[in-house]
Structure 1
Amino acid sequence: MKVGRAADAPPFLVMDVIAAANARAAALPPGAPGIIRMEVGQPGTGAPRGAAEAAIRALSAGAPMGYTEAFGLRSLRARIARHYAEHYGVAVTEARIAVTVGASGAFPLAFLAAFDPGDRVAMAAPFYPPYANILTALGMRPVLLPCDAATRFQPTLAMLERMDPRPEGLIVASPCNPAGTMLAPGELAAIARWCHASGVRLISDEIYHGLTWGTVAESTAAAFSDSAVVVNSFSKYWSMTGWRIGWLVLPEDLVRPVECLAQNMFISAPHIAQVAAEAAMDCTEELEANKAAYARSRAALLEGLPKAGFTSIAAADGAFYLWCDVGHLTNDSARFCAEMLEHAGIAATTGLDFDRERGSRFLRLSYCGREEEMAEAPARLAAWLGR
């Protein structure tokens, strides 16, 4: 029987690392040190208490929790619109907001509405693997812009101006995964305005907003372009990964196309998750406490990792990742990560997930797990590497 070409999509290797770490943890003898999980960008904290309580109240009231409108509960969309006014000073109408099944559900909706098969969509490398894998599965063509520490692993306006032919689309992420670097507001504004003037559809991944550490301010592409698509999610700052809830801020010309696609592909995001997400947006004190713990873990790692031999780390402006150049230690980061799991009990993700050409000398460490484990990681690595 025929198998569709989309079935040839490359794996998201971090999911294989998760499986290997689970197997390793299950095989540990009683009393052995546990596995430190630094492979996946999943907060170690659960949904904020207010979100869980809102869900309990809704379920206890016997609400049917059926389908919502395809774009989600109007009250949640209004709350998200208020977030843009309060956090960014940007007016976004709730009619332009689509609640989605996580950011992962938002990307195919945006790509299908904005692009056709064969269209070229540019992105920085290293990059979040599903960008390219989803585009490829949909018949579109990822175009990689190799970036490094000199550009802070972000695309530049000069790179875009040199592209010939120009792509139909551009994906930017600030803070980005895996490097955690950000575009300054002026840089994002320049890129957004260039895209609009050049007929290039900008997709701005802003799912790590709220988790920033340096001096670079958060800004949204919605402030600079009427044609940009913004993707966000409750998975990261709001610690609601498994609830599968995210959103899009859409330009006017894509509102109805995305709505029709959402009606057919997903019907709606889970009703109960929408109720919880709306409540989560008012749980600032608890969420900021989570963020403070991530900041302490980040500081401990940035101090301890160089002593363990990890001396080249990307500027970690935001998100909760450290992108480490380990070329002085290995030219096979996949094997290096496997040995790290076996001998140091630390799960990390090979850079090959994020950069197929240069990733063999990089790995990504996530520090959103338990704070005490993040503090322990450098000592384990130093012992393994004989430092």
Structure 2
Amino acid sequence: MEHLIHPRIKNIEISGIRKFFNMVADRPNLISLTIGQPDFPTPEHVKEAGKQAISDNFTVYTHNAGLLEVRQAACRFVNEKYGLHYNENEVIVTIGASQAIDIAFRTILEEGVEVILPGPVYPGYEPIIRMCGAKPVYVDTRHNQFRLSADLIKPYINERTRCIVLPYPSNPTGVTLAQQDLLELAELLKDRPIWILSDEIYSELVYSGKHASIAKWLRNQTIVINGLSKSHSMTGWRVGFVFAPEFLTKHLIKVHQYSVSCASSISQKAALAALTAGKEDANDMRKLYEQRMEYAYSRLVDMGFQVEKPTGAFYLFPSIEPFHTSSFEFALDLVDKAGVAVVPGSAFSAYGEGYVRLSYAYSLETLAEGLNRIEQYVQKHKR
């Protein structure tokens, strides 16, 4: 019966991040710096709100778009934080940012259109694009500090271009876009029949200045993806948001409704606490991430790695060019000989080859041990 499975699904592979993590997870005494998951517990008041929802038997369907009070709180949150103006009819509560991306692509893409992405990039976009019958078009950002710019995009825009993905702060590189970058992109894309999918899931984890969204300048062309997984250490609660003008959300809600009906009612009550009483919860976590970043970045530089200093998220993306091997072979050898796991850069498109991703969403003690092992490996194997 396998021959009856849709060819597009058969040709899609499991994420390279998860594939490598699963491959090495059972190794004894392994220090894993692979998964981009906050190591902090969900804030107590958020957990209490979830518990209270269960105690109150609030275990029911909600409005397809999410509880009105949650949608209103989400709109206030992005307004106060980033100056974005949306109303309760212009936001949908989703099952994490991943589902928000899925319904956005399934609503705007069709057979034969193209989606421009920066390379390297998080691997969660391409499979959905291909399932929609669209074509991912990668733009090499390696010589522009991993930043997608108007100048880089311009040669790739044509009559088939339907969407441009702006995933900043970036997974896997940790870079952000400055306001000037966004202004130049907005000037290039203004009034063109092109959507911008702005994935801002790491918006609360910016180390210098404040996060800026291109939706401030191109509101009617922009789909903003956000959520609470990274900002409030709520990965397992699965709460995301998609913000878009009402003429688009009225179509997004159809795809959302027929795929999941609504987000978990219990998680939505927890989300309400996060967005209101906990709207500054990310501050203390961000300070600790920055300390870890400075430590890990300095250690890698001292070892001789070429690496862009992150300005957001919680990843480092050092080059392994001096080792003259593929990123997969390097990562596997690092596991075998040093007992530390990082993610091969090839998981982030062909433009990630020659790099590895290291997550510093781990304690300083874990980072220190992992980096000590990497240093010992480098001393023995660097050519």
Q: What is the TM-score normalised by the length of structure 1?
A: 0.92
Matched, 1:46 2:47: no
- Deviation of residue 159 (structure 1)? 2.4
Shift of 1:323: 0.8
CA deviation after TM superposition for structure 1 residue 285, in Å: 5.7
Mapping 1:130-145, distance limit 5 Å? 130-145=124-139
State the partner residue of 1:175: 169
* C-alpha contact 1:352 1:360 (8 A) present in aligned 2: yes
Report SS of the residue matched to 1:237.
coil
Q: Matches of 1:364 and 1:164 in 2, distance apart?
A: 29
Q: Which amino acid aligns with 1:279?
A: A
**1:184-205 alpha-carbon deviations (Å, 9 max, x no partner):** 1122133134323211111101
Among residues 311, 314, 325, which one is paired with 1:331 in the alignment? Answer: 325
Secondary structure, in 3 states, of the residue corresponding to 1:144? Answer: strand
Match of 2:189 among 173, 186, 195: 195
Specify which of 289, 292, 314 is matched with residue 294 of structure 1.
289
Tell me if structure 2 keeps the 8 A contact 1:313–1:325: yes
Q: Do the aligned partners of 1:307 and 1:382 also contact (CA within 8 Å) in 2?
A: no
- SS of corresponding position for 2:323: coil
CA distance in 2, matches of 1:380, 1:88: 40
Q: Distance in 1 between matches of 2:278 and 2:200?
A: 20
Gaps of 5+ in 1: 29-33
Alignment match, 2:95: 101
Task: Give the residue type in structure 1 aligned to 2:6.
Answer: G
Cα offset for 1:234? Answer: 1.0
Distance 1:285 1:143, change over 3 A: closer
1:14 maps onto 2:8 in alignment:
no
1:292 CA drift (Å): 1.8
Aligned match for 2:118, one of 105, 115, 124: 124
Q: Which residue of 2 aligns with 1:230?
A: 224
Q: Do the aligned residues in 1 keep the contact of 2:109 with 2:132 (CA within 8 Å)?
A: no
Contact 2:207 2:286 in 1 (8 A): no
Question: Is the 1:297–1:375 Cα contact (8 Å) retained in structure 2?
Answer: no
Decide whether aligned partners of structure 1 residues 276 and 329 sit closer, same or farther in structure 2, where only a CA change above 3 A counts. Answer: same
Contact 1:353 1:359 in 2 (8 A): yes
What is the CA distance between 1:383 and its match in structure 2? 1.6
* Identity in percent: 27
User: Mean alpha-carbon deviation: is it higher for 190-199 or for 358-367?
Assistant: 190-199
- Indicate the residue corresponding to 2:53 in structure 1: 58
Equivalent residues in 2 for 1:199-278, closer than 5 Å: 199-215=193-209, 217-225=210-218, 226-278=220-272
d(CA) in 1 for partners of 2:157, 2:189 = 14
Distance 1:100 1:133 in 2: 19
Corresponding letter in the other structure for 1:13 = G
CA distance in 2 between partners of 1:352 and 1:157 (Å): 25
Q: Which region of structure 1 is more displaced relative to structure 2, 135-144 or 192-201?
A: 192-201
Which of the residues 30, 39, 49 maps onto 1:35?
30
Structure-2 change in CA distance of 1:22 and 1:168 (3 Å): same
CA shift for structure 1 position 339: 1.6
Task: Evaluate the alpha carbon distance shift between residue 296 and residue 376 of structure 1 in structure 2; reply closer, same or farther with a 3 A threshold.
Answer: farther
Equivalent residue runs for 1:316-327 within 5 Å: 316-327=310-321
Gaps of 5+ in 2: none
Of 311, 322, 335, which residue of structure 2 is paired with 1:341?
335
Q: Provide the aligned length of Structure 1 versus Structure 2.
A: 374
Name the aligned partner's letter for residue 79 of structure 1. A
State whether structure 2 residue 354 is matched by structure 1 residue 361: yes
- TM-superposed CA distance for 1:121, in Å, is 0.7
1:130 offset after TM fit, Å? 1.4
Instruction: Give the deviation of 1:286 after TM superposition.
Output: 4.7
